[in-house]
Amino acid sequence: MKIAIILGTRPEITKMAPLIKIYQENRADYFILHTGQHYSYQMDKVFFDQLKLPQPKYNIDVGSSSHGEQTGKMLIGIEKILLKEKPDVVLVEGDTNSVLAGALAAAKLGIRVGHVESGLRSYDRAMPEELNRLLADHIADYLFAPTPKSKQILLGEGIDEKKVFVTGNTIVDSIFQNLELAKSGKDVLGELKLKPKRYFLVTLHRQENVDNAARFGSILQGLGRIAQKYKLPVVYPIHPRSRKMMDHFKLKPENLTLIEPVDFLAFLQLENGARLILTDSGGVQEEACILGVPCVTLRDNTERPETLELGSNMLAGADAERILECAEIMLDKKGKWDNPFGDGKAAARIAKIIAEAENG
């Protein structure tokens, strides 16, 4: 049995890392194909280095472009490699253009597809990620749902129950494996002159937020008000595309500490030490929940409803006043909730399910 692991972004690298390590340790017949969707060193190669992963066998280096052009380039590049390598199973993770292109290229060649982190829905089809995850799920032969709720969503869409497996989320594996390593590495808080639980952490990069001047400006205003009210640093490792759009719209955020993007272990330190996390990232909502850090989501919906039900997270949208209000509520939380995303053994379950199914 030969496995192809297709990825292209930081979240995919960190969430696939535990699975890659299992295949590496077991000397399995597998290879990594990187689409190059994240194309800077900070957003890409450093994660392989830090997580001690083998470098990808292939990198098709698509870079940044429109959704259609980027996905089309990926399809062409991935198809050529799959025809050459002839894997039995292609594994993709999450909701990026790399996931859609990988799943579609494999399915059209008659190669079985495993979708890690399946069954997540925001029910907002204006989000490119929603279309990617929806299509990948309906193409896949193996659907690895992180929670019972995500399994029920898939069954509700008519997907055969025999294809769906509740495994937990591999981000739990990754956090458990790397948190101590992060703490023992360089002192990011010290370098930034931050004290544990005496700062707020922000991530803000989604297209629906940063490509809309009014929405982006309102969120930045809300974050500025939080910094002003609590007299604590609001640290924002700014994504290159977000900075580009900030400059394009001539937005000048007040009271925020803008820093360059950081690597996975540094970001894990920042998450773990934050008093509150404000984000539009689905993965960061999960990570905050797992680490016991209260979260405010800068979106109108989420595909991680478990976090809302637990009370680890609130939806604030883009209204400045609502963002401040949600921050006030979440700052009263003590971080005492059960992690709904698994026990840190998701990757082992996924590898076992595939092996048993493929080897009969």
**What would the pLDDT profile of 317-350 be if each residue is shown by its tens digit?**
999 999 999 999 999 998 889 999 999 999 999 9
Task: Say what percent of the chain tops pLDDT 90.
Answer: 87
| Range of the structural domain that residue 275 is part of | 180-330
Query: Sign of the CA dihedral 203, 208, 210, 215?
Result: negative
Residues 77 and 15 in one domain: yes
pLDDT value, residue 63: 80
The answer to whether position 247 is within a domain reads yes
Residue 23's CATH number? 3.40.50.2000
Q: What are the backbone dihedrals phi and psi of residue 7, each rounded to the nearest 5 degrees, phi first? A: -150, 170
129-146: b (≥16 Cβ within 10 Å) or e: bbbbbbbbbbbbbbbbbb
| Dist. CA 326–CA 337, nearest whole Å | 18
Q: How far, rounded to the nearest angstrom, does the alpha carbon of residue 111 sit from its chain's CA centroid?
A: 25
Q: What are the backbone dihedrals phi and psi of residue 76, each rounded to the nearest 5 degrees, phi first? A: -65, -50
**What would the pLDDT profile of 132-190 be if each residue is shown by its tens digit?**
999 999 999 999 999 999 999 999 999 999 999 999 999 999 999 999 888 888 899 99
Residues 115 and 69 in one domain: yes
**What would the pLDDT profile of 206-255 be if each residue is shown by its tens digit?**
999 999 999 999 999 999 999 999 999 999 999 888 999 999 999 999 99
Q: What is the pTM of this model?
A: 0.93
pLDDT value, residue 39: 63
The answer to whether position 174 is within a domain reads no
Residues 144 and 246 in one domain: no
Mean of the per-residue pLDDT values for the chain?
95
Residues 34, 38, 115, 205: which is the catalytic one?
A: 205
| Dist. CA 134–CA 119, nearest whole Å | 8
Residues 152 and 190 in one domain: no
Residues 316 and 231 in one domain: yes
Residues 235 and 88 in one domain: no
The DSSP output letter for 336 is -
The answer to whether position 157 is within a domain reads yes
User: What is the number of structural domains in the chain?
Assistant: 2
Q: Is 205 a catalytic residue?
A: yes
Local confidence band at 55 (pLDDT 50, 70, 90 cut-offs): very high
Summarize the confidence of residues 113-129 as an average pLDDT.
Answer: 95
Beta bridge partners of 339: none
